[in-house]
Structure 1
Amino acid sequence: MSVPPSTSPAEGEAPRSAWYAAAMEQLVPVVEVLSHARTIDAVAGVVTDFARRIAESDGATFILREDGDMGHCVAESAETPQFTGRRFPLESGMTGRVILSGEPVIIGDINNHPWVKPGTYDPEVLTSLAIVPIRRTAPIGAVCIYWRGRSHVPTTEALGVLQALADVTSVAWENVRLVGDLEDKIRRLESQQAHINEQRETLEVFTHALAHDLREPVRTVRAFTDMIVEDGGLPESAVTYFDFVRRGAVRMGMMIDTVYAYTQLHDPSRVRKEACAMDTALSAARENLHRLIEESGATIKCDALPAVEANPGQMMQLFQNLLGNAIRHCRRPVTVTVNALDQDGQWLFRVCDDGDGISEHDIGRIFQPFKRLNLNEEGTGLGLAICTKIIGIHGGRIWCESKEGEGACFCFTLPRAA
């Protein structure tokens, strides 16, 4: 090999040879390759090839610790590999001793060593070896180099280069492990996403059935019930019963429409946003609730509201749900006040009433789907859940501030228009 100029040692350190400087220089591109390795086989191949070449040995093996007390020869660089694929108990051999202790081992003649039973190895297969741990603390494996048919003891410098290689290997192994974990997580996420997409498609089929196939029989029930009542000739009790049927059909139709609207809010990418005057959205909601407002004697007060970047139809639905809840859930004529504040770069909207209020226990569950505080009241239990979905799609949040007997204030935020 070409030998670069020797580098100066640190103070108190023994002078380094030209061989050591050249070996460390050759280690640099190996580190670069290891930093890009993405499999343990690739790491093992690079490490064993370099270890064998730099030590001028007959072979080099890459051992990983498995299941806590077993070693596995992952790779071997040799003209005639002897150990690749072997598994062994760590307590039974020299390599295991290194992995368990974290200390390197050098054996000049393995058949004349107190740790090895005579005749254990054929000198033509293995005579001398040097083993360094991969990671000094809690080793994960070892790099072993060996010589056949000749006794050889590597120099201190050679052992230092091999240990430096092993130290770099531990970092490369950690990178491989992290990449492997990341790829596993990506695969799991992709599998989960595929499952979610499949469920979404199934849900869309179901919601379209709600929107089209189930509406028609509800209309039929209502129509024929009205026709029977209008024809007359029924006893008073029968008229009452048919009124129950008609009201049940009306409620069923409302449930179908509400559930369909709720299920359509799962995909923000489908929501078209534009400049939306919140005054206009509130006016549309009040118009839709005109009959309820008149019959209940409710009063709606409103300050000037800003424009936002939003879906106008959904903003109207948002106000309609909040106003409708405030009116229906109060046993007396209620006053509802709507205003907006510029707060921390976003708009804070408040829909407040002077009604009965909500207990602290109930505030935590009123936004959940199908949760109604009074099962005798009309409604589907999806109004506030729909509001939560709408606000979430628009990048805001919604909450309720209330005390029992002191009215309720529903607050929601929306980003300012760009």
Structure 2
Amino acid sequence: MEYNENETKADLLKKIKRLEKEVDNLSSEVALHERNRFRDRYTTRILDALPDMLTILDHDANIVELVSSPNTSHIEGATIENIVHRNVKDILPPKSYESIRIIMDKVIQTGISSIAQHELVINSVVYHFENHISKLDDEYLLCICRDISHQWEIERAKEEQQRALTLAQIKAEEADKLKSAFLANMSHEVRTPLNAIVGFSKIIVNGDSTERGQYADIIEKNSHILLNLFNDILDLSALEASSLELSSRKIRLLDICCQLYQLYRDKTQGEVELIFDGGDADTYILGDLERLTQVINNLLNNAIKFTIQGEIHYGFHQKGNIVEFYVKDSGIGIPSEKAATIFQRFRKINDFVQGTGLGLTLCRMLIEKMGGRIWLRSKEKEGTTFYFTLPCLQS
């Protein structure tokens, strides 16, 4: 350090400040050099350690550089040589590319980083990836691609669990409504015939002997109603528990239809006529005679109950390897909003007409158990036609 005895104190202070600045600059250069040495030594290792695939893209989606290790590549069989200079469009499926292209254009226009997702099939397994796209300058973009397959599966599992939970809640609420409907319906359906039985039983005991036969008929009729009600409930419970066993025998449909005609021809209302349209005498099915008769009985009973004028037709015809049976009435018809749910439990056409709302539910479940299906066509005030099919017994 040079010293001049003629220098003033102010000059010496200036020299000291200049020297301090030089020392600071020298320290900064040393620190910068050390930082550069650290980056030169560890940047590549750091990038290689990252699990994400880092690529530089130009604005046309061409891959300019793979910044990260080739081991992070999500492209099957990829190396730096065959990744660089390829276009993303040539690597991804069209749908995935379009999704990423939209995000790229958004980032280019706004300069704001954004995220896109895509799928890729690797070794026949579908993987899900998340792409964080950022703008580097007016020429290049940085895309950080991360495998989120595990997180994606967790999210889908959560969604599935939520759907199952929601469905279970809906079913529980529906079950609660059905239980309430069942109790309300049964209290009425059981009380009505039971009151008749109890009331007329007392009259028979204390009343005129000339009227006892008439009262006995009323008691018998209501006893049958009550018995049928309990039988329907037991059958429905057995079907829902899959514990109802069906017998299997060769059944000639013409025989059943003729027997039912004799049973129901005098039970129609007013001038309503029951007409059996017939069917092929050689049509047979393999099924449960009692349950098939139960289904047709239910359909004919409903037709008679809701038809006060006109005609009721029923019959069957063979279509290939199935037989189609129908019951057609000219009754009140079924509103479209009720037709959609008429085969569900406790659904009734008319809440003021006696019935549990279980008959058509039992018909559906029995027909389906026998390998067929059942449906209807109806128009209000013009009548309803119920159809069901069953497999034919090939001769």
TM-score, normalised on structure 2? Answer: 0.48
Larger radius of gyration: 2
TM-score, normalised on structure 1? Answer: 0.46
